[in-house]
Structure 1
């Protein structure tokens, strides 16, 4: 049975991988969960929404490009209208580009920044405006990465974008605390997703090693002895979305199994 007073979350990039795992975990936690992805992933995002409804929670699928300054506010307004409010924003959508900086095209740099940093900014801003209008505070959560603390070679624009998310998260936390809005980020390590399969393939190509060896090489640094699964990250986001984290803001915490220590 649907709980009429459930809190409402919105998860971007929820068609697959970490975003899907987060959306499903928040539904299990008793939240109604709106999900977003781009039009090319319409089938996947609708499947995520159906999986959420199967838990007994409400869902609403919204197709939007998080880098678009008009589509993001419209997405947030659609969620608030359809589900009644917005209490938790998870700005998860992101992309990677694997290439050495000397060969990197400006267009590729801009594409990564537009989704990973501009997109997070637009989601943070639109969510905060909605939460301030509601007057009951809220939780804003962004996708950073372990490369927000130490970059990986051949992931220059991705690393720079995630450093930017870390700084943006701190600034937003300072500005919006007076509205009872907390702003934090999660920093995954090596996760078994299609993005990391792409990273492995490109790194192997660049380093002249067989496919699979690049991921194996980087995975050897994990203290816990295994590559992360999306659910590992979702568990931490569950905490950030809950009232248990009410006194935590401005933090970007690594959930990487013990690769990077700060």
Structure 2
């Protein structure tokens, strides 16, 4: 996309992995970026990386499962960066466990972070964009697992199906305010999250670490795992003006794992 001028984006889970790549890419595109993460140190590191490259950024410690903290983060973004145009509800977790062993605590934790945070982020962004009197963009982290459920990732898959549904319903409700709502659906991305998934799946199957990556990776048409930058390039499109006529969509950016 082309450079934006004077716009502001908030990225949750921005301290590492895909979130870090998104924060850096949006800064390169011209956004001032609020890097929100539960880990203050990683948020600070990414914000400093952006500033060292000549961009504008702040770091925010946020528990995205807490509605009040998400609203406060949006307010602080406006106060410190002078505006608000885009939220990327990127934060998420992906514990791997066979369905028979899933507990109530597992479900509560995954849905609080992966689903509730999207609702709180959507609410906070909508409230602020309406207050500011202009439209904007809400961008949600979905997944290939939000299109087809993956074995050993039942609760994660369910949470991402929920995100895809929320993206569709929010798009319909918010269009009248000039707000578009879309999601991005990565496949296997080389991040600390994926390393944890691989470890959990292979351990449950009694295999060696790396076997899950090899198994899933063999299904990728382009013949390689994704990098965080592959995903952030697509989020750049969703955040910019070239996607203004797109809403309610959750496209795959998975290298050809799936064809719909």
Instruction: Give the C-alpha shift of residue 4 in structure 1.
Output: 11
1:57-136 aligned at under 5 Å gives the runs 57-136=55-134
Q: For the residues of structure 2 that align with 1:109 and 1:260, how far apart are their CA atoms? A: 26
Q: TM-score by structure 1 length?
A: 0.96
Aligned to 2:256: 258
Answer whether contact 1:27 1:55 (CA < 8 A) is retained: no
CA contact 1:12–1:35 (8 Å) conserved in 2: yes
For 1:45 and 1:168, locate their aligned partners in 2 and report how far apart those are by CA, in whole Å: 27
Query: Structure 2 CA distance, aligned partners of 1:133 and 1:30?
Result: 23
Task: Give runs of aligned pairs for residues 146-165 of structure 1, distance below 5 A.
Answer: 146-165=144-163
Relative to structure 1, the CA distance from residue 214 to residue 4 in structure 2 (aligned partners, 3 Å threshold; closer, same or farther) is: closer
Structure 1 position 5, deviation (Å) = 5.2
- Structure 1 partner of 2:190: 192
Q: Equivalent of 1:174, from 158, 163, 172?
A: 172
Q: Given the alignment, which residue of 39, 53, 56 partners 2:54?
A: 56
Q: CA deviation at 1:21?
A: 0.1
How far apart are the structure 1 equivalents of 2:130 and 2:167?
Answer: 17
Of 195, 200, 225, the residue aligned with 1:202 is 200
Unaligned runs of 5+ in 1: none
Q: How does 1:232-247 map to 2 (within 5 A)?
A: 232-247=230-245
- Which 4+ residue blocks in structure 1 deviate beyond 3 angstroms? none
Quote the offset at 1:173 in angstroms. Answer: 0.4
Partner of 2:10: 10
After superposition, what is the alpha-carbon deviation per residue over 1:104-150, rounded to whole angstroms, capped at 9, x for unaligned?
11101110000000011101110111011111100110000001110
SS of the residue 2:67 aligns to:
coil
Whether the 8 Å CA contact 1:173–1:182 is kept in 2: the answer is yes
User: How far off its partner does 1:55 sit?
Assistant: 2.5
User: How many residues are aligned here?
Assistant: 258
| TM-score, length-scaled by structure 2 | 0.97
CA distance in 1, matches of 2:194, 2:95: 11
| Aligned-residue CA RMSD (Å) | 1.2
User: How far has the Cα of 1:168 moved from its partner?
Assistant: 0.3
Within 2, Cα distance between the matches of 1:217 and 1:167? Answer: 28
User: Structure 2: 5+ residue runs without aligned partners?
Assistant: none
Q: Retained in 2: the 8 A contact 1:182–1:248?
A: yes
